[in-house]
Structure formats: C-alpha cells, structure tokens
A and B are shown apart, each in its own frame.
Chain A
Amino acid sequence: MTGFIVRRALSMLVTFIVVSIVIFLMMHAIPGGPFDGYEMPLPDNIKQRLMATLGLDKPLWEQYLRYMWGVLHFDFGVPYQSPGETVMGLVAHAWLPSLTLGGLGILVGAPIGILLGMAAALRRNSWIDYLASAVATLGLTIPVFIISTGLILVFAVWLHWTPASGWGEPKRWILPILAYGAVPLATYARYARSTMLDALNKPFVTVLRAKGLSEGRIVFQHVLRNAAIPMVTIFPVMFVGIATGSIFVEAMFRVPGLGAYFVSSIDKRDYPLEMALMLLISALYSVSYLIADICYALLNPRIRVDGGSR
C-alpha cells in the first residue's frame, strides 16, 4: 500500500506541474491585462510602471518560475483586486463560508439520499421508489439557482421560518445548506438505489435466502457491504466539488464565499488569485481522487494492492 501511495503521490506531482503550466499559459493567452479596464483607462506610462512593479513585463517563463518559486514558499502573491491582503489571506477567509456551508450541505444531503435510495431499492415500485426517482431526477436537472429561489420563496418569503440570506448567525446557514445538499442528495439517492439493486439481484443473495438467512441480515451483512464501495469512493471527489463553493448558491444567498472569485479573478485578469485558485482546485481534486482510490483499495478485496493477494 505504501508503494502504491508513493507512486500515486509522484504522479500527482507531475500532474500538478503540468496543470500549473497549462493554466498559466491559458491565463496569459486571454487578451488584455489587469489594467485594461474600459471605464477608467490608465495612462500608458502609469500602466507600464505598474506592469513593471508586478513583474508583468518579464518573459512568461520567468513570470511562471517566479510565481512557482513563491508557491514553494507558500507565497501566492497579492490579489490585484484587493491589494491590502495576500492571496493566502483572501482564500482563507473566503473559503471558510464555502467549506462550512458546502460541507454541511453534503453531510446533510448524502445520508438522506443514501437512506432514500436504500428504501427505494428495498421497496421497488412502491411510493418511496417513485419519490426517490423523482427527487433524484429533479435534484440533478433543476439548476441550483432555481432550487435556491424556491427555497427562499417558500421558507423565507411565505413561511417566514428562516432569513433569506445566509452566513453570520447559524440560522442563516439553513437555506444555503439545503441548496448545497440538493445535488449530493439526488446523486446519492440514485447511486444507493442502483448499487443496492445491483447487489440484491446477484445470485449470492439468492443463495443466502436459500440458506435461510433473514432478509434484514442479507441487507446489512452482505448487500450494504457490496453497495457501499461505489458510494464511499464518489464521496471525496463530490466533497471537493461542493465544498469549494458555488457561485450560484453564494450569489443567491449573499454568502461571502469563494465561488464568486473563480469568475472575478478571470474577469479582472487577477493572475495571482486565479492561479492560486486553480492550483488549489487541482490539488484538492488530486488528493480527493487519491483518497477515493485508497478507500476503494481498502474496501474492495479485488484490488487490494498487497497483503498476499494479487
């Protein structure tokens, strides 16, 4: 297992470097620069001075190496759109709401989805099966900003149960958590249903019935164990996708999260912030896939990497 992790870590490092080069080049390939705003054009000489201060007049490879050298020392530069702080500081304070709300969203949505999907698989063609299918389809097809609007309309405007916007006091977190929870709930409802059905229809389940094992034990001792593998392995990747913030959810609920910066950093040619966000995302995804693979290897004897089996 250790060898496997080391190999994977090395390949992650290579991926990370390649991704950083590609993103850096693409970022600079977009026409225009940070000081080409239309509203208040800067005089050329001032612009040149600013570019020189920021090192933007240097050749690209030199800029890249300078930036990556900084990254090695955890220095991601200063965001052009907020020169009073560092990129690290900005990401840290903006990520907290996204991580909290998105993380809680998936922690609320996933278990409900799993229970719903399990119930649907065990009671096929019952009302709960139809409910699960409806929830799964709607949750994945209705855009999250429509869901958010619906949540605000029902719970804040009509019922007055919750405030309409979120962050700050925990009461305000409820609606964004529900909005973030929709996708994991729907995904897990579908996943749990299909993986459970898959396992339930295996002949080994029939054999266990023929042995006289009770239905409850069949489900908990055999079916769940087999059905859990894909459910566990999609979790880390889904977590990264949701806990890094959604621009839509955060805009709908006025959450000061990370989501908006993904767009604004590109829009404003905020190179240091854009680069940092992209590196953060690619690092998180790399790690989450590694965790998913490790979980898979631990749970599934078929691909257990060592320990006597091949």
Chain B
Amino acid sequence: MSEAALELRQVTKRFGDVVAVDRVDLAVPRNRVVALVGESGSGKTTTGLMALRLVTPSAGQILLEGEDITALGQKQLKPHRRRMQVVFQDSYASLDPMMTLGEIIAEPLGIHQVGTPAERREQAQGWLEKVGLDGSYANRYPHELSGGQRQRVAVARALILGASVLVADEPTSALDVSVKAQIVNLLQSLQEQMGLSILFISHDLSVVRSLADEVVVMLRGRVVERAPTDRIFAAARHPYTQSLLDAVPVVDPSRRRRRTFLSAEEIAARTPRVRPHELEAPPPVDTAEPQLVALAGSHFVEAIVTERAA
C-alpha cells in the first residue's frame, strides 16, 4: 500500500494556554473512511480544520497524498485544495443564501478556472443529478430545500473538482434519522465510485459503524483509542470509548444499556493497564504515565504499561 491519502503527524494546536489538539497522529488510507469521534470540545473539529489547512497547526505535519503541505502559504496551497474538500454540519449556513444552487455548485470550478461558464453550468447540473436532486433545482435558492437536500448540494459542491480527500464534519448530525441514512448511503456510493478517502468527524456511532473502516476516538485533544471499526465495537479498551458506546440508543427497551457518564477523574482512574506481553510494539516512551500503545490487530489505546494487573 502506498502512502495515506491524508496523514497527520503529531499535530498540535494551542489557543493561548489551551491545548485544543495534543500530538494527534492520524492517517486516512486511500479509498478508506476513517471516523474521528468524541464529544464537543474534544478537538475533533479543530483537527479536521487543520487537516484542511484552514487552521494553522502549532506543531506537527500534515501530508496530503504523501506531500507535506504544513508549511505552504495560501497561494501555494490553492492547487492542493482541489484535492481536499469539506462538508459541514449546518447545511444552511454552509451555502451562501444569496446564490442559486447552480451557482453554488459551479463556484469551485470558477475559483480554479475550470472550463467556460456554460460548461460549469452543465457540470453543476450533472452533479445535482448525481447527488439525487432534480436538475431543475439549479435555479433555486438554499432556503427552498430541506436539510437533507441542502446537504446533497454541499456534497456536490465538495466533489465537483474531483477531490480525492473529503473531510466531513458531522454531515449528518442535523438531519432526521431517515434523511441521515440517505446521506450516509450517498457518501458511501460516491466514496466507492470516486475512490474517495473520507475523514468522517462525528459523535454518532451508529453512522460511524455503517460507514467507517477505522475509528479514532478523541478526548480533550488527545487520541485515546484507535482501531478498526469492528474491534472498536467488539473490544473497546478505553473507558471513554466504552462510555460512548453505552450512549448509543438501543431501540429495544429490555436490552437498553445502563448509561454511564464518566467524569475526567473517573476516566483517569479507569485508564486501562496493559502488560508488556500484550503489546505489538514496544511503548514509545518508558513511563508510568498513560500513553498510546499498540495492541494486536492495529488497535491502539491510551494506557499505562505495567507488570501488575489493573
């Protein structure tokens, strides 16, 4: 396998004294979906914005298809921007209310001077249909659409330049359950068709489960657990990940799990202990503090390495 489509290495963001994102390592392999989950304030959105180079990292590196784009200025970034795109949660605020949908979808082509205005219009029309909207919507305005329809427009605008990397920041969080499923299906089919690599930021684990190949869990700016989706749902090790899983609603009341809300102290107290023989690789640092360690099956968890059982 060649280099990842998008890779973050030890990326850190400080806002004054606050460390919003703390030495995050993350890689989205080509043609894969990686979910970044965590509660609000966990730094997942900032991480996404840094990946897009919309927020400048305080430290660390960002690689787009193997190329280091951390130090590029906005001008130098412009050609790279064609390859990475974004969809946000608030579908209404994401679309300029003064423009028609056709103009909105075609605008990226104009920014990168692709084709003539007529060709751009035609492409925009084509993309409307690709995301499941009628071509006649080109002359409508964002306020005339439902949230799900607007999110389709946002997806069309994101992909019209043929991006290979998509950062989707809670794209389904504001939608009804049925509409949510439609958008997830749309993303899934476009991902397969176009060979997209998606960084899917969400707190909705039910969506994550159906879409993601790998899950990265963030807590207060740090990655606390990272594993293939199946392993996260089957064998999460970190107490915070477990509490997130417990919070997923279960339809059958008799099977309803007890919800656990963990405070920072409780999480600290329950930090997993792993014994050295469980590790796939030696721990990066020799310390009694919690650190991200590799377990079998590409499973990483923030844990304390100790000889004694917890």
Contacts and interface: CB of A to CB of B under 8 A. Distances in A.
Interface in B71-89: 74, 77-78, 81-82, 84-86, 88-89
Contacts of A211: 81, 85, 107-108, 111-112, 161
Given A207-B88, A210-B85, A302 B97 contact: yes
Interface string B143-160: 110000000001001100
Nearest to B107: A211
Contacts of A212: 74, 77-78, 81-82, 111-112
A67 to B, nearest CB: 47
Nearest to B53: A210
A61 interface: no
B93 A204 contact: yes
A213 B143 contact: no
Given A212-B81, A212-B111, A309-B140, A204 B96 contact: yes
A301 B98 contact: yes
A93 interface: no
A226 B52 contact: no
Contact of B94 (A204, A213, A300): A204
Interface residues of B, number: 34
A204 B95 contact: yes
B54 interface: yes
B81 A203 contact: no
Interface string A292-309: 000000001110000011
B139 interface: yes
Given A204-B96, A210-B85, A309 B141 contact: yes
A206 interface: yes
Interface residues of A, number: 22
Contacts of B96: 204, 222, 225-226
Contacts of B95: 204
A73 interface: no
B90 interface: yes
Contacts of A210: 52, 54, 81, 84-86
Contacts of B158: 207
Contact of B54 (A209, A213, A215, A226): A209
Nearest to A199: B96
Contacts of B139: 308
5 contacts: A204-B93, A206-B88, A208-B111, A226-B97, A301-B98
Interface of A: 202-204, 206-215, 222, 225-226, 300-302, 308-310
Q: 7 tightest CB-CB pairs across the interface, nearest first?
A: A212-B81, A212-B78, A203-B88, A203-B94, A301-B141, A210-B86, A302-B143
